[in-house]
Amino acid sequence: MRLRKDSFETLGGLPISPIPGPEDSASESETPGTPPYTRGVHETMYRSRLWTMRQYAGFSSAEETNTRFRTLLDRGQSGLSVAFDLPTQLGLDSDDPLSFGEVGRVGVAIDSILDMRQLFNQIQLDQVSTSMTINSPAIILLALYIAVGEEQGAAPDQLRGTVQNDILKEYIARGTHVFPPEPSMRLITDVIGYCAEKHPAWNTISISGYHIREAGATAVEELAFTLSNALAYVDAALSTGMDIDDFAPRLSFFFGCHNDFFEEVAKFRAARRLWHRLMNERYQPKNPKSSMLRFHTQTAGVTLTAQQPLNNVSRVAYQAMSAVLGGTQSLHTNSYDEAIGLPTDESATIALRTQQILAEETGVADVVDPMAGSYHVEALTDKIESEAYALICEIDEMGGALAALKTGFQQRRIHESAWKQTVDVEKQNRMVIGVNHARIDKEPEIEGQVIDPLIAEQQLAKLAELRGGRNAADVASALSALTVSAGTDENLFPLILHAVKVHCSVGEIMNALKEEFGTWMAPSGF
């Protein structure tokens, strides 16, 4: 029997009417594909084109990750998504003392163009769309990708994909920032400006709520902090002299999808409407695509449990359906064993098959915004939009996202929400199957992906090969020019692209920038 509750609310604490009716929604009738895009960014949505099934993958070496990529493509995946190891995320070479014990552990190790070539061996970059989850050294990893694309003969306008390049959420929720906020923002606008001119099909930033939500934020906080960060990026790009319509159509977003099914559907609907409102209130773009919120979704890694891990297959399936009903443009479904270790080939395939079953067997792709008209969903959409807008205005009063994070405002809000959710589980106000409810004595034995301990040695050998076969004078000249230009307003992307082509390593380029930019620690202690 279910425990009796005196009141009901969403996972994020929003009150739920017992029997919703027309009075619970103030939404007007809207058409999919038209402003403010509450019901979807395309008129026909999945009827004419399914969402991109973009499975996140990366582990060990570039060689092994390349094998996984080609397997997923052969099994029907329609886009690549690269996970980098922690040293790469921090711009450290594999032979840096701080990289010890972390090389190839949570993603693929990329130290130089040698690794990037191997990562995409036998994969034509003008034939795939690639997403790279990288932030502090994003400008370097994108330069490596473009350099490999050029070597393959790909035209600049044929390179399609997304680089996350969202540093503000690193300060707020994740902690893999390196430089102080201002030079970090400069690197982002350099990427935006360069790609707007040279690579028009590339999404130069994926403003991420996923990591904010994984850190403990509510749905409202995820939406508000993400869009507030996006406004900061828009303002930074405009300050360089760009026009809003030069870059805003290529902005993309990345959200998590958690267990509260209807709250998540409503969050995605509210996100589109709120972004359209903010863009038109503040910037008056002429291109309709500048105010159109397009987003990728990943099911919630933080909801996966090591207890009874096969239950995660069900969790992922429900979250994936919620994302699709909310109108996502691409989707990653987590593997059931991720609370234990890196996904195995079997578990990654099951995660992909979950999306394929959703697309081909359930019928949910046949109707555009099938949740429209639900009193409950419409009411939640209105409520989430209203509360997120109020929180964005509160951040504006502090001077915007950059000023607020320097005081630790967003960090404190996330910590408080995370604590409340933890207490709710511990007090059994929220049930988590296998953790505080429906437990079993004997857990099934499931082994995650095992990383070869020799991977670090292999990366060190590859770095030695790189340094032994390059022109030392060219490397020194490229790095020196980069440090000098970091102290000017010059766009650094062409200099970094040149540096990777003459075989500078990721760590060497980062160190050249550190000489001018320095490093930074957030108020929260990250």
User: How high is the pLDDT of residue 61?
Assistant: 87
Could you report the per-residue pLDDT of 476-496, keeping only the tens digit for each? 999 999 999 999 999 999 999
Token pair, residue 133, equals 């989850």
Could you report the per-residue pLDDT of 465-480, keeping only the tens digit for each? 999 999 999 999 999 9
Classify residue 17 as left (phi > 0), alpha (psi -120 to 50) or beta. Answer: beta
Q: What's 437-477 look like in SS3? A: ECCCCCCCCCCCECCCCCHHHHHHHHHHHHHHCCCHHHHHH
User: How high is the pLDDT of residue 217?
Assistant: 98
Q: Is the confidence at residue 451, as pLDDT, over 80?
A: no
Residue 442 pLDDT class (50, 70, 90 cuts):
confident
Could you report the per-residue pLDDT of 268-299, keeping only the tens digit for each? 999 999 999 999 999 999 999 999 999 999 99
Could you report the per-residue pLDDT of 307-325, keeping only the tens digit for each? 999 999 999 999 999 999 9
User: How high is the pLDDT of residue 525?
Assistant: 44
List C-alpha distances in Å: 197 to 194, 373, 389: 5, 42, 33
Token pair, residue 376, equals 């409950």
Could you report the per-residue pLDDT of 88-118, keeping only the tens digit for each? 999 999 999 999 999 998 889 999 999 999 9
Provide CB contacts within 8 A for 464, sequence distance 6+: none
**Residue 507 exposed, middle or buried by CB count within 10 Å (0-12, 13-18, 19+):** buried
CATH 3.20.20.240 fits 22-27+35-426, yes or no: yes
Of 199-208, 213-222, 318-327, which range is least confident? 199-208
User: How high is the pLDDT of residue 5?
Assistant: 61
- Tokens 């290529």 label which residue? 250
Strand order in the sheet with 205-208: 202-203, 160-163, 129-133, 79-83, 52-57, 330-332, 295-299, 251-257, 205-208
The residue count of the chain comes to: 526
User: How high is the pLDDT of residue 1?
Assistant: 41
Provide CB contacts within 8 A for 494, sequence distance 6+: 194
- Name the average pLDDT for the chain: 92
Could you report the per-residue pLDDT of 20-59, keeping only the tens digit for each? 666 665 555 688 999 999 999 999 999 999 998 876 666 6
